[in-house]
Amino acid sequence: MPRLLYAAQAAFTGSSGHQRVPASFLEQLEIPLPPLNVQCRLVAELDAARAERDQALQQAEDLLASVDDLVQSALRLPAAPRLGPAHVGYAIRLGDARRGASISADYFHPERTLALRSIQSLPHAPLGALVNFERLLVASPGTARYIGLASVASHTGQLTEAAETATGACFAFQADDVLYGRLRPYLNKVWLATFGGVCSTEFHVMRVRDGSKLLPAYLAVVLRTKLIVAQTKHMMTGNTHPRLANEDVVNLLIPLADPSTQQTIVDEVASRQAQALRLHAHAEIVWRNARERFEQQLLQGVHP
């Protein structure tokens, strides 16, 4: 962090939740002012570093976004028609509504219907037939590692650096359990546990019944795809805190594949995620080094 920011932090006023830099500090702040040609050179160097950082971050984002295409290609799923902005209205048969699990109009949204048809073209099964939902409550985390919703990054299945704590009841989980966030499922928070611990009760904790037929890692990948999000985001209940109800999550349709294909998908996704992490690390290093060089040249004196 540049030294000017450290100085600004030292001047903070107000409570910890609403700290601010006073105007008096900014009025008296001395700014290094090298010759104009040097300013242009320093800005150009910083702009080049920013462009390199942004390119690396975009490559990482593209890699992670390509997982949907990977799954579709590996499973040989037919491409689902994309709905444009004009598709704002639709109709359903009364008989379909009566046979459905919900009377909500959104439950019959064309996006969800098309996703279901795509999955039904392959071997598939409802989630409830593939996993057991573990709801072992513990009174408090104790010394166990706690995983909250903020601990899991959206769409990637990777843990964040968020340090969350809890004082109330939690669900216990084991390594290879799949944690699926039920609050606002469009946030797509799905994590394959790599260790045992406890988690927020806003997760569904799933344990694969037969690991020889369904790899937990494959299930985690599929649950993060648009095929599943297209189902869940039209099945939410509640307005303030929309959730996926227990009776709905068991009916999510999961596309299946032979163990070899599952492993191929898992390995390729792991490779892309590792590459994305390397790109993120590279972007961070490039930008940090550029800022440090910028500051050092200002504080040590720069020459045309």
Tens digits of residue pLDDT in 31-62: 888 888 888 999 999 999 999 999 999 999 99
Average pLDDT, the chain: 86
Q: Which two tokens stand for residue 268?
A: 């390729």
Task: Report pLDDT for 108.
Answer: 78
The answer to whether the beta carbons of residues 261 and 6 sit under 8 Å apart is: no
Q: Could you report the per-residue pLDDT of 194-238, keeping only the tens digit for each?
A: 999 999 999 999 999 999 999 999 999 999 999 899 899 888 887
Rounded Cα gap, residues 222 and 243, in angstroms: 19
Torsion sign across C-alpha atoms 72, 73, 76, 80: positive
Report the share of the chain in percent with pLDDT over 70: 84
Torsion sign across C-alpha atoms 263, 264, 269, 272: positive
DSSP class of 85: T
Rounded Cα gap, residues 169 and 200, in angstroms: 8
pTM for the whole thing? 0.81
Q: How many helices (H) and strands (E) does the chain have?
A: 10, 12
Average pLDDT score over residue span 121-135 = 95
Mean pLDDT lowest among 50-64, 77-91, 135-149: 77-91
Query: Would you say residue 252 has pLDDT above 60?
Result: yes
Q: Could you report the per-residue pLDDT of 158-198, keeping only the tens digit for each?
A: 999 888 888 889 999 999 999 999 999 889 999 999 999 99
- Interstrand relation of 197-199 and 146-147 (parallel, antiparallel or unpaired): parallel
Query: Would you say residue 11 has pLDDT above 60?
Result: no
Q: How confident is the model at residue 140 (pLDDT cuts 50, 70, 90)?
A: confident
Average pLDDT score over residue span 102-127 = 84
CB crowding 138-165: b at 16 or more within 10 Å, else e: eeebeebebbbbebbbbbbbeeeeeeee
Query: Would you say residue 139 has pLDDT above 50?
Result: yes
Q: How confident is the model at residue 1 (pLDDT cuts 50, 70, 90)?
A: very low
Spell out the domains of the chain, with CATH numbers in brackets.
Answer: 126-252 (3.90.220.20)
Query: Would you say residue 273 has pLDDT above 70?
Result: yes
Tokens 């494959």 locate to 218
Judge residue 235's burial from the number of C-beta atoms within 10 Å of its C-beta, 0-12 exposed, 13-18 middle, 19 or more buried.
Answer: buried
The answer to whether the beta carbons of residues 282 and 56 sit under 8 Å apart is: yes
Average pLDDT score over residue span 136-145 = 89
The answer to whether the beta carbons of residues 286 and 52 sit under 8 Å apart is: yes
Q: How confident is the model at residue 240 (pLDDT cuts 50, 70, 90)?
A: confident
The HSE-up count of residue 42 (CA atoms within 13 Å, CB side) is 21
Average pLDDT score over residue span 274-291 = 95
Residue 236 host element (H or E)? strand 236-237
Mean pLDDT lowest among 80-84, 236-240, 279-283: 80-84
Query: Would you say residue 93 has pLDDT above 80?
Result: no
Task: Report pLDDT for 255.
Answer: 95
Mean pLDDT lowest among 11-20, 111-120, 229-238: 11-20
Task: Report pLDDT for 97.
Answer: 61
Tokens 């609403």 locate to 18
Mean pLDDT lowest among 5-9, 221-225, 286-290: 5-9
Task: Report pLDDT for 110.
Answer: 81
Rounded Cα gap, residues 244 and 190, in angstroms: 13
Nearest to 182 by CA among 130, 144, 142, 127: 127
DSSP class of 72: H
